[in-house]
Structure 1
Amino acid sequence: MRTLEQYYELKDAEDFFEFFGVDYDKHIVEVKRFHIMKEYGTLIKKGFENFNGDEKYLMDFLKFALIRVYMDYKHGHAPSAAEVWGMLEDGKAKGCLACTTATEGGNCAC
């Protein structure tokens, strides 16, 4: 059985897939590495916050979270520029992707 201690030693995205025995497309992971790991980190934070000492349950959750995030990207999820680069400020977009300009109040000038 894999342990939480072993999990903490993982470094690269591929390490996580291999650790859990999850098949993955190397090309997808190479291209979307940052996005996959960022979203995975956000998702597993909940699991660690609710960790009640049942390591097997936590490990199952960590594996499921990895599969879920990977499948999102495998099936075409592409984060917007706002998601990736933090272009949202106080819930209002600084501009739009079509014109990349903004007017006062954060609305697009288009």
Structure 2
Amino acid sequence: MQGVIQQLRQLSSAEDFLRFFGIVFDEKVVNVSRLHIMRRFLQYIEQEKELPPDDATAALSIYRSLLQNAYNDFVVSTPAEQKVFKVFQEAAGRHVVSLENLRASLPARDGV
């Protein structure tokens, strides 16, 4: 299993990972969503309960499937819709500040 981990450590880009696992990909999708794909891949790995500790072939098969799923998420959807990163998660729950609250937060002006 250490050999698999060493191989994965040599990879540095989303394209490297996709090529390593033999996943056919659209460069346009990767150009727009590379960080999101890799973050989703990590999320899927963290959710995986049954990674075989002593079977590198099985582990690689599972990792390939998880990366394929992560890539597919962004083929059919956008990063904003998938909300992988916190900035997108918070954008969905927009906070509205009323004009009165803004006025109340301003320091008092003399003579106005």
TM over 0.5: yes
Cα shift at 1:80? 4.3
Residue type of the partner of 2:34? R
Q: Distance in 2 between matches of 1:48 and 1:10?
A: 24
Divergent runs of 4+, >3 A: 46-51, 77-83
Residue type of the partner of 1:43? Y
Call closer, same or farther: CA 1:83–1:21 in 2, change over 3 Å. closer
TM-score, structure 2 normalization: 0.67
TM-score, structure 1 normalization: 0.68
Are the equivalent residues in 1 in contact too, given 2:37–2:71 (CA < 8 A)? yes
Call closer, same or farther: CA 1:74–1:54 in 2, change over 3 Å. same
Are the equivalent residues in 1 in contact too, given 2:52–2:59 (CA < 8 A)? yes
Higher relative contact order (CA 8 A, sep 6+): 2
Are the equivalent residues in 2 in contact too, given 1:13–1:29 (CA < 8 A)? yes
Q: Distance in 1 between matches of 2:30 and 2:23?
A: 12
Are the equivalent residues in 1 in contact too, given 2:11–2:17 (CA < 8 A)? yes
Residue type of the partner of 1:26? E
**Unaligned ranges ≥5, structure 1:** 104-110
Residue type of the partner of 2:13? D
Is the aligned partner of 1:87 residue 2:90?
yes
- Map of 1:1-110 to 2, 5 A cutoff? 4=4, 5-47=6-48, 50-80=51-81, 83-84=84-85, 85=87, 86-87=89-90, 95-96=93-94, 100-101=95-96
CA radius of gyration, larger in: 2
Call closer, same or farther: CA 1:83–1:70 in 2, change over 3 Å. closer
**Unaligned ranges ≥5, structure 2:** 99-112
Q: How many residues align?
A: 93
| RMSD over equivalenced CA pairs, Å | 2.8
Cα shift at 1:8? 2.1
Percent identity between the two aligned chains: 26
